[in-house]
């Protein structure tokens, strides 16, 4: 089980002052460990620990309330995502009024296209490739199959298990590769504290569970080399389950899944166009030069994460 604070620190840059390995943390603790010298010290420490436990219990209730609110919010947003999917896949033809962007802050696209077909081919492939940590997973042999991806959804779970499931929907053309209609990745999290309430660090990552991909044959299995049959790099390894005892693998896997949930799904069009990064493109204190640290932060961690 990995706490959210551990996950955020462990996946940060190696040059960061926050990146302490376990040996460094233990040495720091030993060198700065307070040793009480009087009975009064012990009593005060016990009282303060009781206060800390009370705070941790309230924090747990707060995080649980946030997750329940997100669940209700997701239900209210579902119709917007369904309409978005219909437009992307050419199932819905927007009216002229609907095509007028309702904002004064973004430039509209006035380019006249000769193609009379509706929809945006390869929308999700292009969107995923805009995020470097996901683009690194996508290989040349993955792209024809990812062009068949027509929607990504998230389902939030409250009881009996808390967490969320990412759902990747594929069209009929994907049947040339596998028989699945949907590929899923489930993440279980724990909000309630364990028995050791004093050491509670917030929402914890418990596990991630992938799904079985029913490949047509070895030639269509993009996770294996078609000539040698050996495993090769592929985005579709994302749908394998992580090893429970491997905290680093679990944290890295969760970072990707949580980023898809919190950023890519709700703001897909801004990733598709690249406008999501415009806010972080320039540094006011650096004469207009690109601030790579800011861009790296938003690409790796995302905005407004609750974990």
- Listed in sequence order, the residues at least 6 apart from 174 whose beta carbon sits closer than 8 Å to its beta carbon are 145, 148, 149, 180
The verdict on residue 189 lying in a domain is yes
List the CATH number of the domain containing 218.
3.30.1120.90
pLDDT at 13 over 70: no
- CA separation (Å) from 291 to 74, 84, 189, 282? 33, 32, 34, 6
In a domain, 218, yes or no: yes
Q: Residue 160: inside a domain, yes or no? A: yes
How far apart are alpha carbons 169 and 183 in whole angstroms? 7
- Mean pLDDT confidence for 56-71: 91
pTM of the predicted model as reported, rounded to 2 decimal places: 0.74
Judge whether residue 15 has pLDDT over 50: no
Highest mean pLDDT among 99-113, 169-183, 279-293: 169-183
Q: Return the pLDDT at 119.
A: 86
- Averaged pLDDT of the chain: 79
> Mean pLDDT, to the nearest integer, of 161-187?
96
Q: How far apart are CA 181 and CA 267, in angstroms?
A: 24
> Per the structure, how many domains does the chain have?
1
Instruction: With respect to residue 230, please indicate whether it lies within any of the assigned structural domains.
Output: yes
Do the domain assignments include residue 23?
no
Alpha-carbon gap, residue 69 to 166, rounded angstroms: 19
Instruction: Give the pLDDT band (50/70/90) at residue 24.
Output: low
Other CB atoms within 10 Å distance of the CB of residue 26: 11
Tens digits of residue pLDDT in 249-302: 999 999 999 999 999 999 999 999 999 987 655 444 444 343 444 334 334 433
Rounded CA-CA distance 239/260 in Å is 14
pLDDT at 285: 46
> Which of 100, 101, 95 has its CA nearest to residue 118?
95
Pairing of strands 204-209, 182-190: antiparallel
Q: Average the pLDDT over 163-183 and give the result.
A: 97
N-to-C CA span, the chain: 14
Containing domain of residue 67, as a range? 2-8+41-94+120-269
Question: pLDDT at residue 226 above 90?
Answer: no
| Helix (H/G/I), strand (E/B), else coil: 258 | helix
Q: How far apart are CA 81 and CA 151, in angstroms?
A: 9
Strands 149-157, 2-3: pairing kind: unpaired
Digit-coded pLDDT (tens) for 73-86: 988 999 999 999 99
């Amino acid at each position: 089980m990995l706490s959210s604070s551990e996950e955020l620190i462990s996946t940060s840059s190696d040059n960061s002052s926050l990146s302490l390995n376990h040996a460094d943390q233990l040495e720091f603790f030993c060198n700065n460990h307070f040793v009480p010298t009087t009975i009064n010290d012990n009593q005060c420490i016990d009282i303060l620990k009781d206060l800390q436990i009370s705070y941790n219990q309230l924090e747990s209730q707060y995080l649980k309330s946030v997750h329940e609110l997100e669940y209700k919010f997701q239900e209210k947003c579902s119709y917007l995502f369904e309409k978005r999917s219909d437009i992307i896949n050419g199932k819905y033809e927007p009216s002229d009024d609907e095509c007028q962007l309702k904002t004064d802050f973004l430039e509209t696209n006035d380019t006249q296209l000769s193609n009379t077909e509706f929809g945006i081919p390869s929308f999700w492939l292009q969107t995923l490739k805009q995020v470097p940590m996901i683009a690194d997973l996508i290989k040349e042999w993955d792209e024809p199959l990812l062009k068949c991806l027509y929607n990504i959804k998230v389902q939030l779970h409250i009881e009996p298990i808390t967490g969320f499931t990412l759902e990747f929907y594929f069209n009929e053309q994907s049947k040339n590769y596998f028989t699945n209609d949907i590929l899923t990745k489930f993440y279980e999290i724990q909000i309630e504290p364990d028995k050791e309430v004093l050491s509670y660090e917030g929402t914890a990552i418990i596990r991630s569970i992938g799904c079985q991909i029913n490949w047509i044959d070895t030639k269509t299995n993009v996770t294996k080399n078609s000539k040698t049959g050996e495993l090769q790099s592929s985005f579709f390894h994302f749908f394998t389950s992580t090893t429970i005892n491997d905290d680093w693998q679990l944290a890295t896997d969760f970072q990707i899944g949580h980023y898809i949930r919190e950023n890519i799904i709700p703001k897909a069009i801004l990733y598709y166009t690249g406008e999501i990064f415009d806010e972080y493109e320039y540094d006011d204190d650096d004469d207009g030069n690109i601030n790579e640290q800011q861009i790296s932060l938003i690409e790796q961690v995302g905005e407004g994460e609750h974990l």
